[in-house]
Amino acid sequence: MGYTEVKFIELNGLEIKTTLTDEEKSIDDHISSFFTPTDDYGTKVIGFDVEWPVEYKDSTDYLFKRANFQLCDGNSCLVICLPFSSDVVPKSLHNFLRMPNYTFVGIGIKDNLAFLEKEHGIVFRNAVELGPLAASLMKMPHLRYCGVDELAFEVCKLDLRKYRPSRLAFNWGKYYINKELVKHATVNVYSYHKIGSALLRPAPVPQMPVLITVRSGSPQY
């Protein structure tokens, strides 16, 4: 009685295939499809996100019944909706997030990892926040504080703003019936992947030059 659906999302003329599923077999297959290596020894970068719907708050704490995992390797996206009856994530997802040869990238990823460790016992090997990464590697400090749309444009001239949702009154706990929400998830992790891949590609990232002007003569205080 599992659920698997494939949707095709058009982004700037490119068609991205996004699979929504809560079935182990589909998850296994899709994760295997992420395994084609890069051409140039560069690290494979996976755009990663997770949302957890707040159900209600009891006397001691919040109840998080489900988590929505969103992954993208640039060619296709995988959206995993953990079912109600399970606390433990599927084996292949758990093992994938611990593979030492992948780098998972996102926005606000540190807080997401803390949630995953506490709620699902998952510890990543290698996850990176995109803003500080761009600011550090490109030596453009203000990128540390920017949103994903500006990062996408600055780092790889990608403009996906027209695919943003127009309303936000949705519930991630039920999103598998909503095309708008699938597109929203796809745009996010696809752009994370694109930004991360551009930043971490072996060829050196162009940097702003540093110029020190030296004035000859005696110092005057």
Which positions from 85 through 114 interact with its own copies, judged by CB under 8 A?
87-88, 90-92, 94-96, 98-103, 106-108, 111
Measure the CA–CA gap between 86 and 34, rounded to whole angstroms: 25
Min dist CB 20 to its own copies, Å, is 18
**Binding to its own copies by residue 69, rule CB under 8 A?**
no
The owner of tokens 């990238």 is 105
Which of the ranges 1-9, 13-21, 24-32, 69-77 carries the binding residues for its own copies, by CB under 8 A?
24-32
Min dist CB 25 to its own copies, Å, is 9
Which of the ranges 1-9, 13-21, 73-81, 127-135 carries the binding residues for its own copies, by CB under 8 A?
127-135
| Longest Cα separation, the chain | 83
CA torsion angle for 138, 139, 140, 142 (degrees, to 10)? 120
Measure the CA–CA gap between 74 and 182, rounded to whole angstroms: 16
**Binding to its own copies by residue 131, rule CB under 8 A?**
yes
Cβ distance to its own copies smaller for residue 16 or 120: 120
Contact positions with its own copies (CB under 8 A) in 178-207: 188, 199-200, 202, 205
Pairing of strands 62-64, 4-11: unpaired
Contact positions with its own copies (CB under 8 A) in 34-63: 35, 37, 41-44, 49, 51, 54, 56-57, 62
Cβ distance to its own copies smaller for residue 17 or 153: 153
What is 111-147 written as a DSSP string? HHHHHHHHHH----S-EEEHHHHHHHHHT-GGGGG--
Cβ distance to its own copies smaller for residue 13 or 216: 216
In 156-207, where do the E strands start and end?
A: none
Structure tokens at 103: 């780098």
Strands lying side by side in the sheet with 76-81: 4-11, 14-21, 76-81, 68-72, 44-51, 102-106, 127-129
**Binding to its own copies by residue 4, rule CB under 8 A?**
no
Contact positions with its own copies (CB under 8 A) in 149-178: 149-150, 153-154, 159, 161, 164, 166-171
**Binding to its own copies by residue 2, rule CB under 8 A?**
no
Rg (CA), the chain: 20
**Binding to its own copies by residue 221, rule CB under 8 A?**
yes
Min dist CB 131 to its own copies, Å, is 7
